[in-house]
């Protein structure tokens, strides 16, 4: 039983670390800010999620598991909120996505959130 | 062994996030990198609690998660409006 739990923990933690490293690599490699948001959300969801579930398996049915679960739920809800706020304020601050054609650039400009663009 | 490997991977990712925070062309890239760094700090505090067999470190991880979120939202609002107390100007979607 302990052996099976250890193997499952190893698998989950190595998977989570792999997602963290891929996210960190994407954070350096991707070419504009909105693409980098995707790399960052990879770390915030699957990276943290898999590693914490692996730690929960090691902790067993104790208060430690409850605390890990609380942190996991909190990050699960706040990380998309922070990403959304960052993307919206960047779009209102004239950071445009790196698109290929002039036509797409016009579509990006036309689709901008109205109301808070003029006060920067 | 398991926890040391996890800590090593998290530290490598933290270095990558720091590099992006240095080179990020816009201020939003830097905020994003610092947000990721904060999430990774939560992870490494939790993992260190397991390495050292001291589960009290998880309470610190909870506090770091709370402060990380509030800090990201506050900095994003400050660089957008130059003002922490700015209203939403009647926009039903909120201020930022």
**Could you read off the pLDDT of A9-49 as tens digits, one per residue?**
999 999 999 999 999 999 999 888 888 999 999 999 999 99
B91 or A73, higher pLDDT: A73
Asked if the Cβ–Cβ distance from B58 to A64 is below 8 Å, we say yes
Q: Residue B43 is part of which domain span?
A: 2-81
Compute the distance between CA of residue B46 and CA of residue A74 in angstroms, rounded to an integer. 14
pLDDT in tens, A70-107: 999 999 999 999 999 898 888 877 777 777 667 666 66
The structure's pTM equals: 0.87
* B19 in a structural domain: yes
Size of interface A-B (CB pairs under 8 A): 150
- Which region holds residue A61: left if phi is over 0, alpha if psi is between -120 and 50, else beta? beta
Q: Are B35 and A48 in contact (CB under 8 A)?
A: no
Is residue B75 domain-resident? Answer: yes
CA dist., res. A84 & res. B4, Å (int): 33
Q: Say if A90 is an interface residue toward chain B (CB within 8 Å).
A: yes
Note whether residue B96 is domain-resident: no
In angstroms, rounded to a whole number, what is the distance separating the alpha carbons of residues A65 and A62? 6
The pLDDT tens digits for B8-25 are 999 999 999 999 999 978
**What ipTM does this complex have?**
0.88
Number of compact structural domains in chain B: 1
């Amino acid at each position: 039983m302990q052996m099976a739990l250890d193997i499952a923990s190893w698998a989950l933690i190595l998977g989570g670390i792999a997602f963290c490293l891929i996210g960190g690599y994407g954070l350096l490699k991707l070419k504009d800010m909105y693409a980098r948001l995707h790399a960052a959300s990879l770390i915030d969801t699957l990276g943290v999620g898999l590693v914490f579930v692996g730690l929960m398996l090691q902790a067993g049915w104790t208060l430690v598991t409850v605390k890990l679960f609380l942190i996991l739920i909190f990050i699960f809800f706040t990380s998309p909120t922070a990403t959304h706020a960052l993307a919206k304020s960047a779009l209102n601050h004239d950071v445009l996505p790196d698109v290929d054609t002039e036509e797409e650039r016009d579509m990006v400009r036309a689709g901008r959130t109205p109301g808070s663009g003029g006060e920067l | 062994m398991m926890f040391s490997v996890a800590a090593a991977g998290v530290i490598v990712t933290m270095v990558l996030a720091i590099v992006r925070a240095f080179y990020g062309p816009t201020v939003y890239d830097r905020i994003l990198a610092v947000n990721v760094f904060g999430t990774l700090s939560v992870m490494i505090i939790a993992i260190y609690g397991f390495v050292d067999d001291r589960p009290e470190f998880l309470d610190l991880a909870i506090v770091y998660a709370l402060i990380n979120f509030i800090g990201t939202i506050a900095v994003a609002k400050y660089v957008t409006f130059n003002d922490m107390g700015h209203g939403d100007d009647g926009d039903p979607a909120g201020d930022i």
